[in-house]
Amino acid sequence: MIKYWKYILIAIILLLGVLFPFYAGAYQQSIARTVLIYLVLAISWDMLLRSGQLSFGMAGLFGIGSYASVLLLLRLGASPMLSILGAGLVAFVVAALLGILVLRLRAMYFAITTLAIGEIFRIIIRNWSSFTGGPEGAILPNIIFDGDPVLSYWLVLGLALLAIVLSVIFQKTRIYFALTAIRNNEVVAKSSGINIFKYLVIVFAITSALQGMAGGVFAQTYGFVTPESSFSADYILLPIAMALLGGIYGTLGPIIGTVLLGVLAEYLKLYIPYGHLIVYGIIIICIIMFMPQGIVGVVRSKIIRREVG
Amino acid sequence: MSKLVVKSLTRRFGGLVAVDNLDFELGNGEIVGIIGPNGAGKTTLINLISGICMPTSGSILFDDKDITLTPAHIRSRMGIGRTFQLIHPLENLSLIENIMTGFLFSQGENKKKARLRAEDLCALMNLTDTGREISQLNILEMKKMEIAHALATGPSILFLDEVMAGLNSDETKEIIKIAKKIASSHNMAIGVVEHVMGVIKELTERVIVLDSGKLIAKGVYEEVSKDPKVITAYLGGAA
Ligand SMILES: Nc1ncnc2c1ncn2[C@@H]1O[C@H](COP(=O)(O)OP(=O)(O)OP(=O)(O)O)[C@@H](O)[C@H]1O
Ligand SMILES: [Mg+2]
C-alpha cells in the first residue's frame, strides 16, 4: 500500500516537472534549469562517494564537458545533441584514464588529484588560444533549439532524470553491495570477491560522464564557454553542500538538498554576488558538524524512533 | 594431492620477520590447527594465503596453480575463504546483506539467488531475524555472521582466525558443532587458529605450531603438546 502511494507521488512530481514550463514564468524556468544542472552534479558526486571516494573533480569535468561540446560543434561541425553526448564521452575517457592512474592511491591522493584535473585543463584551454578561444572563451553561433525555452528545459530535465535513474540503479543492484562494502572495509570487500579497482574506475568514469554532459548541456543552452565560468568553484562547493544538506549515500538526499539550496542560491547570488561561496562553505561546515546525516537522515531516524518508541 | 602448498613463505615488516621461511600443506577436506603464542605469525599466514598481504619471498600453490601474485578477490573466487580475527562487519549493510556479498561477488550469483542462499546459510547457522542492522547483533551472532560471510564465498579451503575468542563455553560448543557440520557436508579443508586448546583437540586432526614466524613442530596435538620446543615457546610467550 505504501509502495503504491510512493509511485503515485513520483508520477505527480514527474508530471509537475515535465509541465513546469507551461505554468512557470521565464525567470523561474531559468532557475529550474540551473537547479537541475546542479542536481546532476550533486547526485553524481554522491554516487561516487558511496564507494568512499571523495571527488573534487566536478568543476573540472563540467568544464571539460562544456569545452568538449562547444569545440566539437565549432571545430568538427557536430550537431548540438551529438556534441553533448561527445562531452559525456570525453569526460568518461578522461576520468577512466585518470582513475586507472590514481584510483590505486585512493583517499586523500584521489581527492587532490580530482581537484587538479580542472586546473590542468583550465590552464591548457587558456593558453591554447588558436583552438579553444583562450582567456576570452568561445561563443556558439546558435544556442540549442534556437533558444526555445521549453525544449531547453526538457533537455536539462532529461539529463537530470538520467542521473536519477542511474543513481536508483546504483542503489537497487549489486553495485550497491559493492560500493557499500568498499566504503565500509576494503579488506573485507576484497575477501568477498569484489574487484575494488574495477568498480571504482567504472563508477568514477560514469559519474564523470554525467558531469561532462551537464557541462555540455549548460554550454549548449547558454551558448558560450570561458575558462573562468566553465571551471567555476561553484560547481564543486554547491553540489557538495547540496548533497550534504539533503543527506548523502542515496538518491533522495541530493534531490532534496539541491532543490532547497538551489533556490536559496539564486537569492544569495542576487544579494551577495561576490560572497556567496563563503555562505556555501559555512553551510557545509555546519551540516558536517551538526547534521552529518542530512535532512533525509534526520527524518529517517525520527521515523525509526517513533516506530520503536 | 595437496589442496594448498605453501613453500618457503616469508613476510617481513621492516626488521620484523612475521612469517619466516614457512612450508605448509593442507590436504583436501582435512582440518588442521594452526597454533602458537601471540605474535607468532598465524594471522599473517592467513593474510598471505588469502592475498590480503603479499609475501616478501616464497610461493603459494592452490590446486597446483601458483597464486603467489593473484589478487585477493580472485583468490576468494577460486575458493579460498577466511574469517577475520578482528571482525569488521560491513556496518552499512544488514546481517543478510553482509552474507549476500560473498554469493554475489565470489560466486557470481544474482541478487535474488544470493538472498535465498544467504537465508539458507543463516538457517543452518541458527541466525534469525536476518534483516537486522549490524549494531543490533550480539557477539555470538557477529561470529556466526563472520563464518557465514566466509562460507558464502564458496570456499574449498577455509581459515578460521580465532572465531571462538570472546565466546563462553556453550557458545564455543555451538560454533564447534557448526564447524564440524560444514567440514563434513562440504568436504572443505579448514585451517583453525585458536588459543583455546580444547577447541583444537576437539576439532583438528593435526596441528602446526608457529613461533616467531617459524614452524617449530607439527603432528597430532597430543604429541606436539609434549614437544619441549613447543612448551618453551608458550612459556617464553607468557613470560
Ligand atoms: N601490517 C603489519 N605491519 C607491521 N607488523 C605487523 C603487521 N601485521 C602483523 N605484524 C607483526 O607481525 C607479527 C605476527 O603477527 P600476527 O598477527 O600474524 O600474529 P598472530 O600469531 O596472529 O598473533 P595473535 O595470536 O596475537 O593473533 C607481530 O609481531 C605483529 O606485530
Ligand atoms: Mg592473530
pLDDT digits (tens, 9 = 90+) for B123-167: 999 999 999 999 999 999 999 999 999 999 999 999 999 999 888
Closest ligand 1 atom to Cα of B47? 18
Give me ligand 1 centre to Cα B16, in Å: 10
d(CA A251, CA A221): 26
* pLDDT digit string, tens, across residues B36-91: 999 999 999 999 999 999 999 999 999 999 999 999 999 999 999 999 999 889 99
- Which pLDDT score, from 0 to 100, does residue A291 have? 85
H helix or E strand, kind and range, residue A172: helix A149-172
Q: Which of B47, B73, B88 to mutate to test the interface with A (most CBs of A within 10 A)?
A: B73
pLDDT of A228 over the 70 cut: yes
Positive or negative, the CA dihedral B109, B115, B121, B124 is: negative
- Domains in chain A: boundaries: 2-308
User: What's chain A's average pLDDT?
Assistant: 91
**Mean pLDDT across A3-28:** 91
pLDDT at B106: 96
**Cβ contact, residue pair B93, A174, below 8 Å:** no
Strand partners, B32: B191, B206
Distance CA A85, CA A65 (A): 9
Q: How far apart are CA A183 and CA A176, in angstroms?
A: 11
| Ligand 1 atom at minimal distance to the Cα of residue B46 | 18
Given CB atoms, is B88 within the 8 Å cutoff of chain A?
yes
Position B185 confidence tier, pLDDT thresholds 50, 70, 90: confident
- Whether A108 shows a pLDDT value over 80: the answer reads no
Please, what sign has the CA dihedral across residues A120, A123, A128, A134?
A: positive
Per-residue pLDDT of B82-118, as tens digits, reads 999 998 899 999 999 999 999 999 999 999 999 999 9
Closest ligand (CA of B19): 1
pLDDT at A285: 87
pLDDT tens-place string over residues A185-224: 999 999 999 999 999 999 999 999 999 999 999 999 999 9
Return the percentage of chain A with pLDDT > 90, whole number: 66
Residue B238, pLDDT > 70, answer no
- With CB atoms and an 8 Å threshold, state whether A177 touches B76: no
Ligand 1 mean position, distance from CA B43 (Å)? 7
pTM above 0.90, yes or no: yes
Closest Cα in chain A, distance from residue B88 (Å): 7
**Ligand index nearest the alpha carbon of residue A187:** 1
Tell me, what's the ipTM?
0.93
Q: Which atom of ligand 1 is nearest to the CA of B45?
A: 18
Q: Which atom of ligand 1 lies closest to the CA of B37?
A: 25
The β-bridge relationship of strands B16-27 and B65-66 is unpaired
Out of B42, B87, B164, B194, give the residue to mutate to test ligand 1, the one with the largest number of ligand atoms within 8 Å of its CB: B42
pLDDT at A309: 47
The hierarchical CATH code for the domain A2-308 is 1.10.3470
Residues of B in Cβ contact (< 8 Å) with A198:
none
> pLDDT at position A207, please?
98
Sequence-distant (≥ 6) Cβ neighbours of residue B197 within 8 angstroms: B35, B221, B225
Residue type, A108: M
CA atoms within 13 A on the CB side of A200: 28
What's the B204 CA to ligand 1 centre distance in angstroms?
A: 23
Residues in contact with B145: Cβ distance below 8 Å, sequence separation at least 6, in sequence order: B89, B95, B98, B99, B127, B137
Cβ contact, residue pair A195, B73, below 8 Å: yes
pLDDT (average), residues A106-127: 88
Asked if B211 contacts B40 with a C-beta cutoff of 8 angstroms, the reply is yes
Strand, helix or coil at B137?
coil
Residue A248 reports pLDDT greater than 90: yes
More confident residue, A1 or A241: A241
The Cα B173–Cα B33 span in angstroms is 17
Spatial separation of the C-alpha atoms in residues A25 and A13, rounded to whole Å: 18
Q: Which parts of A116-176 are beta strand (E)?
A: 138-139
Cα A32 from Cα A246, distance rounded (Å):
18
- Residue B12 phi/psi, 5° resolution? -105, 145
pLDDT given for residue A308 in this prediction? 57
Nearest ligand to the CA of B47 is 1
Instruction: Please report which residue ranges of chain B form alpha helices under DSSP H.
Output: 42-50, 72-78, 95-101, 111-125, 139-151, 169-186, 197-203, 221-224, 228-238
**Chain A residue nearest residue B49, CA to CA:** A191
Residues 6+ apart with CB under 8 A from B133: B94, B95
B102–A181 CB contact, under 8 Å: no
Given the C-alpha cell 553533448, which residue does it identify?
Answer: A84
Cβ contacts of B93 on chain A, cutoff 8 Å: 177, 180-181, 184
Q: Which residue bears the cell 557477539?
A: B139
The three cell numbers of residue A162 are 538520467
